[in-house]
Structure 1
Amino acid sequence: MKYLYSCLLLLMVLGLCSCERKELFSHEELYTAPTHISADWQGQSATASALQIRISGTHQDIHLDTLFTLESDATATLALLEAEYHIIAWHDAANVSFNGSLFHLSIGEDGLLREPSHFCAAESTVPVNPEQENRLSLKMYPQTRMLKLSLNVDKGSPELITGIEATLSGVAAERSVSGTTPRNSTTGNIRLNFTQDGNTLSAGHRLLGIASGVPQELTLTLHYSEGEPQTETYNLSPLLTTFNRFDVSGSTDMFTLTGKLSLYQSVEEAGISGSIEDWTPGTETDMDANGYADDADKADEHELITH
């Protein structure tokens, strides 16, 4: 009886092991299958000429973990064992490093986050089926978005402003390939450089995203032709709640915050003051998708306002 019990227990263990194996493989012997891997840019322009592709098996019996380079418009054909694989595709971008799971922005000597260039990445977990050709299209998604601040002078003359200093806090310094910013992730500040075009003062900066759990505060100092500079801090957090909803469509690459700037000049004593009201979030479809960061001619077209 004791021998029969031991045999039954052994059969149960073998049965469990067999069931676990059948979840991944349909037979005892593993087969390989030709697997074609390419990038799917989803109608957008490729943001690099070549990609880094990393493939690793998700099952403990699959020890594959390989990294190779693929031209952005090419197809790689690999002979992979039938299994499930985790695939990441990315490319180099200015002021960005990648540790295998998170993109990190570099920090300048001034302690501010440096601006990333426009880039895309993909992450997917896919099965490879045996005895058939497999085609894996890696959907490339944007990892950055352009933030534009636009101040429209509706009262007073923009010539009363001789300089602007602006910093924004609560900016994400890291971002996962899947597009999330970890709640306890590193944050930082950026500097915004304003230009003037008629009655409009605007600044653009590309971001990995905004950080969650911390406020986004704009500290703005206006220098006037008369009187002392004026510094104000604006909480932009409620207006930026949808900023991290990136899209492959170029129409949403630019996220715009527009405000009305009123300038007041006293007739009794020297001095000017200003106030910004009616902040309005939105997107722009008539702007270059690469934004000011990728257009060196913007500074030549408009007057740069610095102090």
Structure 2
Amino acid sequence: MPRDRFLVHIEGRDLELSNLDKVMYPSAGFTKGEVIDYYTRVAPVLLPHLRDRAVTRIRYPNGVDEAHFFEKNRPGGTPDWVRLERLPVPGSTKSRETIDFVVVDDLPTLVWLANLAAIELHTPQWRIGADPDLLVVDLDPGAPAGLRECCAVAMLMRDRLSADGITAYPKTSGKKGMQLCCPISGTQSSDVVSGYTKRVAEELAKIVPGSITAKMARQLRPGKIFIDWSQNNAFKTTVAPYSLRAGATPTASTPLTWDEVMAMATGEIPSGQCGAIETLQRVEERGDLLAAMLQPGPIVPE
């Protein structure tokens, strides 16, 4: 076996890891070995949010500054112990067209993907064979607005959803903005969920038109927060909690407390994305701030 490859044994599975010294984040000197280490350490809180969901990966074979590609189908050489689910191609008009999605239910599969330089992990709002059990609100800032302004809008959205009995859990996107994740019943179609989220977004945009837009057009976004209700489309995915993001430095999509969101919105604490090491420290101190999100939620108003 080449010197840059070696075998590891994880939970009864044999994996071959390679090129651990390859730098994935050149500006930070963060290597593939550190990517694998991060995902191994964060796995106890990450895996419950991936379980039973078809995972879309964004792979960066030569690091975040080089070419990348989205991957939904199983890659070549997939071990026979990796769980695969044959599902319709997202957005395809051909009902017979299917691909084999990878489902990440265990640590060996997570480490295997990390070794393939699958830096970002994205999931749909539904579990295999079921209707959406999550409502997701993506808050996307248009410069010069940033995360601080997202936090202010997040609190408005939280209160509006709460009026309908829906509980929102905040997390950073790991890039510019943030998302609110809301457990729902899993008994309604994505069209119903998306339609409800759009109505709420448009309602808030009418109340605070100077700060919020619910329209897709990018020319309307500068200085505003776009409430992206379309994330609830059946074929859309959202970055998973605790997933790394590809950027200058290794940030992660990190759960927040509402106290932190308020403090960022008021400027009491600096607003910013969390790095990989900070995210691991937060997990060690606080556990999974999104654990309650794994329980079923209410029916969405139609």
Give yes or no for TM over 0.5: no
Greater fraction of residues in strand = 1
Report which structure shows greater RCO (CA 8 Å, sep ≥6).
Answer: 2
Q: Considering only CA atoms, is the larger Rg found in Structure 1 or Structure 2?
A: 1
- TM-score class, shorter-chain normalisation, is under 0.3
Q: Taking structure 1 as the reference length, what is the TM-score of the superposition?
A: 0.26
